Amino acid sequence: MKPGIEWRQPRASADSEQFAADLRAALSRSPKAISPKYFYDETGSRLFEQICELPEYYPTRTELALLQTHADDMAAQFGAGVQLVEYGAGALRKVRLLLDSIPRDSVQFVPVDISGSHLLAACDGLAADYPGLAIQPLVADFTRPHGLPPCPAGSRRVGFFPGSSIGNFTPAEADAFLRLAASELAGGGLLIGIDLVKDQQVLHAAYNDVAGVTAAFNLNVLARARHELGAEFPADGFEHLAFYNPAYRRIEMHLRASRPLELQLDGEVYAFHEGETLHTEHSHKYTVEGFQAMAARAGFRPGKVWTDENRWFAVLWLEAQRAA
């Protein structure tokens, strides 16, 4: 496999025009809600990396510990030659643990992320640390068709989706993503991290850190709208709100209006009453058995499972069936 970075042109990235259209739609509906993918401009991506280092935010350190302990076993599920596709690649920290367990000349790495500048910087660092690794970064919204490069001859395509990011999807969106992944990974498989149902106090602390980094991450959606789209609203008009909703087994994040106010965008005025929110993210928590059942309905065959002693987090291997 050809080493080095081969940059692929963006196909489905969330540009300013799409952001504006989606934000207008979000502000027009009731209740107001927007996709969490708009967290991840350059500033948002950097803030999320800070969140991953917080003492309250258990998912990252728990998943990293699982990868550090079981990377050889996980990589053994892939087969001899692999095109490794990381969905929502981010800083490329976790995938290094897998790459250390795979022969360098038997893998082509395809990181897919919506934040182009952040992705390219991460790939530059990866290339420096893993000379000889073939890297084909792709800027795209991985929840939509995104044009992966052809799988090298003699290899099978394997997906890597860490960080419990699938919890950000609604059940319908999670099903759609799993079906898309099952189709493009046919004959290979998916290694995926999921956050498990647990004590609500642990969950609350993880999304309401005392340093306020998660709050800054949440508020960055509107900061981005201000500098990228020219949106106008009071600088102190919104506050971070995160709580566990037991009816849906999910954490919800909102931006809550601290008083009656107006947000102006593209000549339109959108009113918020005091306490009204813009729903920015939800993070569903799963049981292993429940997630395996959902994956099976989407076309995967459940395989090995790795979890921590507290059963706070799990990494699952899912075999992607070939089309009949």
Assign residue 100 a region (left: φ > 0; alpha: ψ between -120 and 50; beta: otherwise).
alpha
Average pLDDT over residues 33-61: 93
Residue 12: the pLDDT is 39
Task: Name which of 8, 184, 170, 161 is nearest 88 in CA terms.
Answer: 161
User: What is the C-alpha to C-alpha distance for residues 8 and 125, in angstroms, rounded to an integer?
Assistant: 17
User: What is the C-alpha to C-alpha distance for residues 302 and 304, in angstroms, rounded to an integer?
Assistant: 7
Task: Name which of 240, 215, 214, 237 is nearest 226 in CA terms.
Answer: 237
User: What is the C-alpha to C-alpha distance for residues 131 and 4, in angstroms, rounded to an integer?
Assistant: 7
Q: Is 20 helix (H, G, I), strand (E, B) or coil?
A: helix
User: What is the C-alpha to C-alpha distance for residues 131 and 105, in angstroms, rounded to an integer?
Assistant: 10
Read off the pLDDT band of 260 (50, 70, 90).
very high
Domains for the chain: give ranges and CATH numbers: 4-11+53-198+285-319 (3.40.50.150)
Q: Is 88 helix (H, G, I), strand (E, B) or coil?
A: coil
User: How many CA atoms does the CB half-sphere of 170 hold within 13 Å?
Assistant: 7
Q: Is the pTM of this model over 0.85?
A: yes
Residue 16: the pLDDT is 85
Longest distance between any two alpha carbons in the chain, whole Å:
61
pLDDT single digits (tens) 153-199: 889 999 999 999 999 999 999 999 999 999 999 999 999 999 999 99
User: What is the C-alpha to C-alpha distance for residues 144 and 177, in angstroms, rounded to an integer?
Assistant: 8
pLDDT single digits (tens) 10-24: 443 447 899 999 999
- C-beta neighbour count of 207 within 10 angstroms: 23
pLDDT single digits (tens) 85-137: 999 998 899 999 999 999 888 899 999 998 888 888 999 999 999 998 999 99
Task: Name which of 87, 80, 84, 125 is nearest 106 in CA terms.
Answer: 80
Helix 42-51 × helix 116-129 angle, to 10°? 60
3-state helix, strand, coil in the chain (%, to 5): 35, 25, 35
User: What is the C-alpha to C-alpha distance for residues 175 and 297, in angstroms, rounded to an integer?
Assistant: 8
Phi, psi of 13 (to 5 degrees): -75, 155
Render the burial of 136-146: b for 16+ CB within 10 Å, e for the rest: bbbbbbbbeeb
Average pLDDT over residues 59-67: 96
Helix 213-229 × helix 42-51 angle, to 10°? 180
Residue 118: the pLDDT is 83
User: What is the C-alpha to C-alpha distance for residues 200 and 67, in angstroms, rounded to an integer?
Assistant: 25
Question: In the predicted model, is pLDDT for residue 4 greater than 80?
Answer: no
